[in-house]
């Protein structure tokens, strides 16, 4: 599920960027990139994902449903691309320009023809008999579909880089960023299709966990580095506010939320269960007990780190709040006049209460307990985590420091990265909770 969420974010981010430019343009020509991006970044990847899920699905009814979904999404993509072609045709006619004069337009035409032929082949193979057959296999259809998919993506990227609309509405830097995101998204999806289905072996679990860590570190670390560099470039009392908030919301909050997941505990417990099944002598049993003790120590360490980063986050938020308060006092400005400030204080209060609840539960009894579970604490921490993400994004867009120091381009890039990072980590927290319940 985490892989699916990461893949979805890789497609949704460039689509949101392109759609925002199309809406701001609001012209007939803007329909062309808007509809094409919907087809190439939403419909076609979803159709391919349906076939990937079908490979591992054993329930026949669900396999048929996924095949129907694949067909529906392909038909929808074909309609969107056709309407996009008509839109650019009329847009060029209105300004007296000729058609099919660029490599992009010819590549789009050829790719569209092969796409239509492949889709009609699939329809014929499905409905050629007296009864619809949704279970057929055809290597030519698969190979042609993959080639058309790659050709469509290449055509889209070429249009983004060379078309007059792309050059007008995107800076070279933004064109490069969107291109990299689109390539990463499609390579990820094609890699999942061409690479054999992985098994959830311990080594594979560790590899996936490392990949998730790298992706999340980049998504959280990049905006944090940008904000800190801007604060260092223009040092002031007020700059302490975004600097400390960035460290709290983009480093401490994600780190303490990560330890809510308990992925190491779950993976280790599964390994102990497998190991216990193979115990046949005293030596093996002793090794099993040693592994169990190591896992318990790891859980305690994670709980301590979770608490440490919570306390550190609260200290940083308090320092940032005091800096903002003193700055406003110096300039005679009122306090708590914006949505950002109220959301920040609400998040801080919730995080503080949740942290105090955790401290009381841990140290309240005669013996310190690091192994307790409390659904209310988990829910409170998750809500504080989400509130922190919303607060920092709102501050970037509405705060005077964000407007003056980051500018429109950096505001969007930083906010997008933060939103993607918070979404992925929240998704991981939620799914890990459901997995833990099943394992219990």
Mind giving me the DSSP string for 335-372?
SS-SHHHHHHHHHHHHHHHHHHHHHHHHHSSSS--S--
Query: Could you tell me what percent of the chain has a pLDDT over 90?
Result: 19
Q: In the chain, count of helices (H) and strands (E)?
A: 17, 0
Distance in angstroms (rounded) separating the CA atoms of residues 119 and 298: 53
Distance CA 429, CA 412 (A): 25
pLDDT at residue number 432: 61
Which two three-digit tokens encode residue 146?
């993959």
How far apart, in whole angstroms, are the C-alpha atoms of residue 440 and residue 432? Answer: 12
pLDDT: which is higher, 185 or 76: 76
Is 161 a residue whose pLDDT tops 80? yes
Structure tokens at 143: 């190979």
Instruction: Spell out where 94-159 has E strands.
Output: none
Using alpha carbons, list the distances in angstroms from residue 4 to 7, 179, 423, 428. 5, 20, 12, 11
- C-beta of residue 307 within 8 angstroms of C-beta of residue 315: no
**Using CA of residue 92, residue 93, residue 97, residue 103, what is the dihedral sign?**
positive
Residue 84 has a pLDDT of: 92
2-194 and 207-439: identical CATH topology: yes
> Which structure tokens are listed for 330?
């110096």
**Any idea where the domains of the chain sit in the sequence?**
2-194, 207-439
Q: How far apart, in Å, are the Cα atoms of 150 and each of 73, 179, 187, 195?
A: 17, 14, 10, 16
| Model confidence at 128: pLDDT above 60 | yes
Q: d(Cα 394, Cα 341) in Å, to the nearest integer? A: 9
What's the rounded Cα separation, in Å, for the pair 215 and 432? 18
336 Rama sector, left if φ>0, alpha if ψ -120 to 50, beta otherwise? left
Tell me if 216 sits within 8 A of 74, measured CB to CB.
no
The pLDDT score that the predictor gives to residue 270 is 44
Gyration radius of the chain over CA positions: 26
Looking at residue 195, its pLDDT comes to 58
**The whole model's pTM is what?**
0.55
List, for residues 41-85, the tens digit of each pLDDT value. Answer: 999 999 988 888 888 788 888 999 999 999 999 999 999 999 999
Q: Which CATH architecture has domain 2-194?
A: Up-down Bundle (1.20)
The answer on pLDDT for 421 being more than 70 is yes
What is the mean pLDDT of the segment spanning 398-402?
Answer: 83
Please check the confidence at residue 438 and state whether its pLDDT lies above 60.
Answer: no
Confidence at 205, pLDDT banded by 50, 70, 90: low
Mean pLDDT, residues 349-364: 88
Tell whether the model's pLDDT for residue 37 goes beyond 90.
Answer: yes
Helical segments of 197-281, H only:
202-233, 240-247, 253-261, 263-277
What confidence category does residue 197 fall into, taking pLDDT thresholds of 50, 70 and 90?
A: very low
Cα separation, 246 vs 138, in Å, equals: 52
For residue 19, pLDDT beyond 50:
yes
Q: What is the pLDDT of residue 220?
A: 87
pLDDT tier for residue 431 given thresholds of 50, 70 and 90: low
**How is residue 193 written in tokens?**
């299709």
Rounded to an integer, the average pLDDT of 374-385 is 84
> Over the chain, what is the mean pLDDT?
80
Candidates 3.50.7.10, 3.90.226.10, 2.40.30.40, 1.20.120.1770; correct CATH number of 207-439?
1.20.120.1770
Alpha-carbon distance of 104 to 132, in angstroms, equals 38
pLDDT in tens, 294-350: 444 567 777 888 888 888 988 998 998 899 889 888 888 887 888 888 888 888 899
Selected residue with higher pLDDT from 200 and 275: 200
pLDDT digits (tens, 9 = 90+) for 106-123: 889 999 999 999 999 999
- At 227-275, the pLDDT tens digits run 999 999 989 998 999 999 999 988 888 886 765 554 334 444 444 344 3
Backbone angles phi, psi at 236, to 5 degrees: -165, 170
């Amino acid at each position: 599920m985490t892989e699916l969420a990461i893949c979805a974010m890789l497609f949704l981010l460039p689509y949101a960027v392109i759609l925002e430019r199309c809406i701001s343009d609001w012209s007939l020509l803007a329909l062309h990139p808007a509809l094409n991006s919907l087809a190439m970044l939403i419909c076609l990847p979803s159709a391919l994902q349906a076939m990937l899920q079908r490979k591992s699905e054993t329930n026949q009814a669900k396999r048929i449903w996924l095949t129907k979904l694949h067909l529906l999404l392909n038909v929808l993509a074909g309609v969107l691309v056709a309407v996009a072609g008509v839109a650019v045709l009329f847009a060029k006619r209105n300004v007296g320009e000729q058609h099919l004069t660029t490599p992009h337009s010819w590549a789009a035409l050829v790719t569209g023809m092969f796409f239509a032929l492949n889709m009609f082949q699939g329809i014929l193979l499905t409905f050629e008999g007296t009864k619809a057959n949704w279970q057929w296999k055809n290597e030519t259809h698969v190979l042609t579909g993959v080639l058309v998919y790659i050709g469509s993506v290449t055509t889209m990227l070429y249009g983004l880089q060379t078309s007059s609309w792309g050059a007008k509405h995107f800076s070279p830097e933004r064109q490069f960023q969107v291109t990299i995101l689109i390539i990463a998204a499609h390579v990820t999806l094609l890699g999942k299709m061409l690479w054999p289905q992985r098994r959830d072996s311990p080594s594979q679990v560790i590899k996936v966990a490392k990949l998730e860590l790298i992706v999340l570190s980049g998504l959280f670390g990049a905006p944090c580095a940008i904000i800190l560099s801007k604060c260092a470039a223009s040092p002031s009392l007020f700059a302490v506010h975004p600097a400390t908030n960035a460290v709290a919301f983009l480093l401490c909050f994600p780190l303490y939320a990560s330890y809510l997941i308990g992925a190491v505990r779950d993976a280790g417990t599964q390994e102990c269960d497998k190991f216990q099944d193979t115990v046949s002598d005293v030596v093996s049993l002793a090794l099993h007990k040693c592994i169990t003790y190591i896992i318990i120590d790891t859980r305690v360490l994670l709980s301590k780190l979770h608490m440490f980063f919570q306390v550190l986050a609260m200290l940083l938020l308090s320092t940032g709040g005091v800096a903002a308060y003193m700055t406003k006092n110096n300039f005679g400005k009122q306090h708590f006049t914006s949505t950002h400030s109220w959301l920040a204080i609400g998040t801080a209060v919730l995080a503080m209460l949740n942290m105090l609840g955790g401290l009381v539960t841990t140290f309240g009894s005669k013996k310190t307990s690091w192994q307790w579970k409390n659904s209310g604490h988990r829910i409170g921490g998750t809500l504080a985590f989400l509130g922190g993400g919303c607060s920092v994004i709102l501050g970037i867009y509405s705060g005077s420091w964000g407007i003056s120091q980051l500018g429109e381009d950096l505001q969007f890039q930083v906010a997008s990265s933060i939103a993607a990072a918070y979404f992925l980590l929240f998704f991981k927290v939620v799914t890990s909770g459901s997995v833990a319940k099943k394992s219990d």
